[in-house]
Amino acid sequence: MNVISPVSVAHSWLIFLTIIMFALAGCQARYEDKSEMTPYNSIVGKRLEARMPLIAYGINESLNPEGPVDYIELRSEAIAGPEVVFSKSLSIGTLIRIDRVLAAEYFSRTLLRYEVSVLDGSFDSDTVVIPTSEDYRIGTLGLDAAVYNEVGSNL
DSSP H helical ranges for the chain: 6-25
At 83 the pLDDT is 94
Residue 146 CA to residue 50 CA, distance in Å, equals 9
- Kindly report the number of other CB atoms within 10 A of residue 77's CB atom: 8
Residue 86 CA to residue 59 CA, distance in Å, equals 8
At 82 the pLDDT is 93
Please identify every stretch of the chain with a pLDDT value under 50, giving residue numbers as ranges: 9, 22-26, 134, 155
At 118 the pLDDT is 95
53 cis-preceded (ω within 30 degrees of 0): no
- What is the reported pTM? 0.75
At 151 the pLDDT is 92
At 22 the pLDDT is 45
Residue 145 in 3-state DSSP?
coil
Which residues are 109's β-sheet partners?
A: 106
Enumerate the domain spans of the chain: 32-152
